[in-house]
Structure 1
Amino acid sequence: MPKVRSAPIPLSPSIRLQLMWLASPALPVGGFSYSEGLEAAVDTGRVQTEAQAAHWLLYQLQLSLARSDMPVVARAVPAWLRGDLARISELNEWVTQTRETSELRLQTEQMGRSLVEWLRNNGQQDERTAACASLKPAPTWPVAFALAVAQCIPKGMPPPPQLVEEALLAYAFGWAENMVQTAIKAVPLGQSAGQRILQALTQAIPSLIESACQVTDSQRQAFTPMLAILSAQHESQYSRLFRS
């Protein structure tokens, strides 16, 4: 007879709320101040309409986030839960080494430091926060985010089996919301156009999470040449609103 799988245990309201908090643009890590090359794409005429902005962000989600940062988060969450600091250091070093421009590297390091500082100030005593802060040259955003996810689980409580997938939903949606707000300001676009772009991104996220969870270390990659070129050009762009 076929085996019947039991239904997964749902996340508690407390854990779900904490993941929603991590996805919020109000989280004080400065994500709203970065465009990740989009502002340079607007400046060079590559992104001038709603359709172009939607295509740009969908491709960035598929070719960059889902092949690099999301697989890192998927591996870093269980590493933090089991206290594997060697694995954490390895993942953090990979993120640092694969940022293709100084702006993108400064972004991940600044956001990582800011999240660690937020974790320090939230009243929770956890030695893993100090371990994250000590990462060299700095804790990166995906690794620090994974720590914040791991800290959603009370000590002694087994992590829910769907924790990684839920964490990636929060990570990807937080990125999508920040980037849509960037497009609204930089292109510029109206709020309704921004909501349509966000809808397209959220429809793509679930399948990308499934594939990101399957990415091995040897398959993980950061290779977006045009994005890197535009990011480098943005460093000397005459007029800009964003830090990347």
Structure 2
Amino acid sequence: MCTGRAVVTTTEPVVDPVPPLLRLTWLASPALPIGAFSYSEVLEAAVEQGLVHDDASAGAWLSQQLRLLARGDLAAIAQGINAWRAGDEPALRELARWLRMTRDGAEARLQSEQMGQSLLVWLRGQPMATPAQLALLTACGEGHPMPYAFVMSLALATIDVPVDQALHTQAFGWAENQVQAALKAVPLGQTAGQRVLTRLASEIPAAVAEAIATPPARRQLFAPMLSVLAARHETQYSRLFRS
């Protein structure tokens, strides 16, 4: 295991011709070819159990998921951005392990690994990360598939923007994808979906602030009932989504 701080360097700096704001928008876009549209993140199971049945209950459900995201994966991405920018290899290795260990069900692991691998393929084709950073990312995987949040933290770290801006766009991209899932699974109309998205957008700044303020020792994704629902979704009779 590494100790101390290892600085990632390269003799070939990357010059990205795409402006930072466009890069952030691109990474948060539902059109990014990573398969996010195929996962409802347990929302479909909540609909099956009657926990979500209209726009009000969908908004309440997704608001709870946003708070969980803030203290879990959003906090991990924030810390990953800082670690990549500082070249802190021990912190990166610890973060990659944490992200692998906290996927507590088959569907959650599938989503993290599949989206992570797809994002890595995309990232390798873009003028963003250096060869040294990509090599370190692979090394931190320790032979395992790359977790999505870990690859995303590298992609965001290469963009010259403050961490809070990066997290705002990622949180909104997540919210947009979840609302699209709700439109299909509940189902909801477009106007109802926009009401849900309005609620989530108003809560994102607080979620981002919480994520940035969460130290590594306080990151957590403990939500046992959510895990039970996720397990039930694995054998649900009729499914539109992979989670």
Which bin holds the TM-score, normalised by the shorter protein? 0.7 to 0.9
Q: Could you say which residue in structure 1 is the equivalent of 2:86? A: 82
What are the ranges of 5 or more consecutive residues in structure 1 without an aligned counterpart? 1-12, 154-159
Q: SS state of the match for residue 159, structure 2? A: coil
Paired with 1:40 and 1:96, the residues of 2 have a C-alpha distance of 23
Alignment RMSD, CA only? 1.4
Change (3 A) 1:124 1:167: closer
Paired with 2:157 and 2:72, the residues of 1 have a C-alpha distance of 20
Deviation at residue 170 of structure 1 after TM alignment: 1.4
Instruction: State, as a whole percentage, how many aligned pairs show the same letter.
Output: 48
Deviation at residue 122 of structure 1 after TM alignment: 2.1
Q: For residues 92-151 of structure 1, what are the alpha-carbon distances to aligned partners after superposition, in whole Å with 9 as ceiling and x for unaligned? A: 110111112111111111111111100112255622123324413121111111111122
Amino acid corresponding to residue 234 of structure 1 in structure 2: H
Q: Could you say which residue in structure 1 is the equivalent of 2:188? A: 189
Amino acid corresponding to residue 150 of structure 1 in structure 2: A
Amino acid corresponding to residue 184 of structure 1 in structure 2: L
What are the ranges of 5 or more consecutive residues in structure 2 without an aligned counterpart? 1-17
TM-score, normalised by the number of residues in structure 1:
0.87
Work out which of the residue numbers 123, 141, 165 in structure 1 matches 2:148: 141
- How many pairs align? 223
Q: Could you say which residue in structure 2 is the equivalent of 1:19? A: 24
Work out which of the residue numbers 39, 43, 57 in structure 2 matches 1:52: 57
Paired with 2:59 and 2:127, the residues of 1 have a C-alpha distance of 40
Q: Is the 8 A contact 2:104 2:227 kept in 1?
A: yes
TM-score, normalised by the number of residues in structure 2:
0.88
Paired with 2:22 and 2:182, the residues of 1 have a C-alpha distance of 27
Deviation at residue 22 of structure 1 after TM alignment: 0.7
Q: Could you say which residue in structure 2 is the equivalent of 1:41? A: 46
Q: Could you say which residue in structure 1 is the equivalent of 2:117? A: 113
Deviation at residue 164 of structure 1 after TM alignment: 0.6
Amino acid corresponding to residue 32 of structure 1 in structure 2: F
Q: Could you say which residue in structure 2 is the equivalent of 1:171? A: 170
Q: For residues 3-53 of structure 1, what are the alpha-carbon distances to aligned partners after superposition, in whole Å with 9 as ceiling and x for unaligned? A: xxxxxxxxxx91111111111000111111001111011111111111111
Q: SS state of the match for residue 217, structure 2? A: coil
Paired with 1:133 and 1:49, the residues of 2 have a C-alpha distance of 43
Work out which of the residue numbers 85, 96, 100 in structure 1 matches 2:100: 96
Runs of 4+ deviating beyond 4 Å: none
Q: SS state of the match for residue 221, structure 2? A: coil
Deviation at residue 61 of structure 1 after TM alignment: 0.6
Paired with 1:140 and 1:195, the residues of 2 have a C-alpha distance of 30
Q: Is the 8 A contact 1:119 1:129 kept in 2?
A: no
